[in-house]
């Protein structure tokens, strides 16, 4: 099988892409893999524990200037695939995209869905923007790799043809952490305290199951946190719901591993939600809504995908509590399945299939 050159264009170092890119750089097909970063990590990402990532087999280019962009896109143009995170999201990726078009390089787009459900009038502004981008660049895009079902629906809404869309996702790995089983059923929420994350939905649902034995923890920071805390107090749940700021990597991994269920109660579109990957890697079941991008990962028996309303969330929580605290055997089953189908190697296999379709054509012509 002929190898080829694959160049990823991203805003900054992303832990959500590391395992995929690292696995692709080690793939048996022998791809040459490069990573171009538009900028340094911003402070908002550092709050979530993001940091500079070290690859062994990936050539990294940080903040390339115009001359460097020209060199990166013109090199082996006809035997290169350039994978962009979104379409012209910043000046570097825009310049690179347009240079790829000039040099005839193959273009892939890897992207989450545009926020649509639950995001008010701004969704129409976003829709118009992306319709204009499709009109300008769409005919040059070879393959679109949208994140999950939400992403697929978004690009179909924009008018891209189904035969150019290949459902994809985030392939985020984490080491399995062994912890003692908690005595009380532990419900965990992780995410920013913003409206579309649905923290208020979870608090209201918890208020409906006071008669059951559980404790909930919210790892969250943001504008809505005080509102959610006030709601919990008004429902008499201040002793049963604990709010914490984000934690260090080790403490976070231990908390995820000891959780009995992770809840992602999105009431607005969430592009993905890598905490779902992290939970399932630890063997922790997940409840999420139909507006969570990572719903594709949640299989029967590993949690539930629900519509975002109180009654549905109450029923899902009651079922999980009835199942009890996950034992070691159940956790191992969930974790093993996730590592088989959602590892970096699994993602690289999917991407390699699409890349080889390009490289086979290139070498045969």
DSSP string, 81-130: EEEEESSS-SHHHHHHHHHHHHHT-EEEEEEPPPP-TTSTTHHHHHHHHH
Specify the pLDDT at position 363: 52
CB–CB of 293/217 below 8 Å?
no
Question: Distance between CA atoms of 73 and 285, rounded to whole angstroms?
Answer: 43
Residues linked to residue 263 through DSSP beta bridges, in sequence order: 287
Q: Model-level pTM?
A: 0.91
Specify the pLDDT at position 121: 85
Kind of pairing between the strands at 141-146 and 106-111: parallel
The structural domains of the chain, ordered by start, are 5-172+343-364 (3.40.50.2000), 186-341 (3.40.50.2000)
Q: What is the pLDDT of residues 134-163, one digit of tens each?
A: 999 999 999 999 999 999 999 999 999 999
Q: Which of 341, 351, 342, 277 is nearest to 24 (CA)?
A: 351
Specify the pLDDT at position 1: 47
Specify the pLDDT at position 300: 75
Specify the pLDDT at position 35: 97
Using CA atoms, how far residue 136 sits from 66, 97, 124, 240, 311, in Å, is 21, 11, 18, 53, 44
- Residue ranges of the chain with per-residue pLDDT less than 70: 1-2, 40-52, 362-365
Residues 6+ away with beta carbon under 8 Å from 183: none
DSSP string, 203-236: HHHHHT-TTS--EEEEE--STTHHHHHHHHHHTT
Instruction: Count CA atoms within 13 Å of residue 208 on its CB side.
Output: 16
Specify the pLDDT at position 43: 53
């Amino acid at each position: 099988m002929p190898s080829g050159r694959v160049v990823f264009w991203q805003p900054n170092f992303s832990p959500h892409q590391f395992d995929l890119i690292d696995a692709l750089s080690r793939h048996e097909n022998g791809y040459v893999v490069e990573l171009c970063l538009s900028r340094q990590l911003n402070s908002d990402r550092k709050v979530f524990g993001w940091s500079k990532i070290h690859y062994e087999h990936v050539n990294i280019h940080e903040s390339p200037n115009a001359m460097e962009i020209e060199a990166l896109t013109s090199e082996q143009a006809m035997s290169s695939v350039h994978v962009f995170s979104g379409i012209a999201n910043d000046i570097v990726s825009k310049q690179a995209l347009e240079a790829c078009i000039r040099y005839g390089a193959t273009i892939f787009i890897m992207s989450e869905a545009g926020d649509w459900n639950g995001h008010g009038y701004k969704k129409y502004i976003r829709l118009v923007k992306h319709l204009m981008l499709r009109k300008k660049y769409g005919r040059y895009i070879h393959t679109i790799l949208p994140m999950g079902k939400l992403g697929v629906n978004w690009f179909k809404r924009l008018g891209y043809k189904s035969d150019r869309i290949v459902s994809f996702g985030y392939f985020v790995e984490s080491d399995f952490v062994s912890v003692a089983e908690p005595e009380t059923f532990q419900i965990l929420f992780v995410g920013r305290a913003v409206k579309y994350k649905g923290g208020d939905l979870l608090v209201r649902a918890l208020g409906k199951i006071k008669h059951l034995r559980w404790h909930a923890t919210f790892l969250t920071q943001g504008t809505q946190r005080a509102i959610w805390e006030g709601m919990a107090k008004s429902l008499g749940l201040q002793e049963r719901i604990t709010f914490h700021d984000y934690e260090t990597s080790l403490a976070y991994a231990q908390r995820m591993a000891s959780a009995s269920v992770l809840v992602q109660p999105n009431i607005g579109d969430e592009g993905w939600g890598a905490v779902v990957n992290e939970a399932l890697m630890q063997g922790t079941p997940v409840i999420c809504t139909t507006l969570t991008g990572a719903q594709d990962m949640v299989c029967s028996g590993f949690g539930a995908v629900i519509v975002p309303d109180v009654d549905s969330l109450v029923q899902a929580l009651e079922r999980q509590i009835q199942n009890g605290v996950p034992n070691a055997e159940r956790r191992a089953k969930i974790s093993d399945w996730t590592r088989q189908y959602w590892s970096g190697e699994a993602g690289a296999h999917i991407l390699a299939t699409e890349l080889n379709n390009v490289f086979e054509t290139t070498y045969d012509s």
